[in-house]
Amino acid sequence: KHKQVSFFFEHDNQTLPAWRSVLLIGEAAQVSKECELSKAVELLSNKSPKFKEKVANGELTNTAVYKLKTREIE
């Protein structure tokens, strides 16, 4: 399995002179401890109403959550 991953983030509504983005590179690990998984789901739910709705509707029962151990930021 490939553990090395990268995530690229940018805001959609940026103007060119103020454009910002970030690239995170590191190793992904599945969140498996129940206490860590509960905290991750809570944090994601607070950030995304759609994610919270899917959790509430039981739509994510076969979904894995991963954390990133970042080793490089660009």
Residue 26 — pLDDT band, cuts 50, 70, 90? very high
Per-residue confidence band for 48, with pLDDT thresholds at 50, 70 and 90:
very high
In the chain, where the domains are located: 4-73
The CA-based angle 36-51-37, given to 5 degrees, is: 10
* Alpha-carbon span 60 to 72, nearest angstrom: 30
Parallel/antiparallel/unpaired status of strands 4-10 and 66-73: unpaired
pLDDT, mean of residues 10-15: 89
- Indicate the pTM of the whole model: 0.69
Whether the predicted pLDDT of 28 surpasses 90: yes
Report pLDDT for 12.
87
* pLDDT confidence band for 72 (50 / 70 / 90): very high
Contact assessment for residue 47 and residue 71, using Cβ atoms and an 8 Å cutoff: no
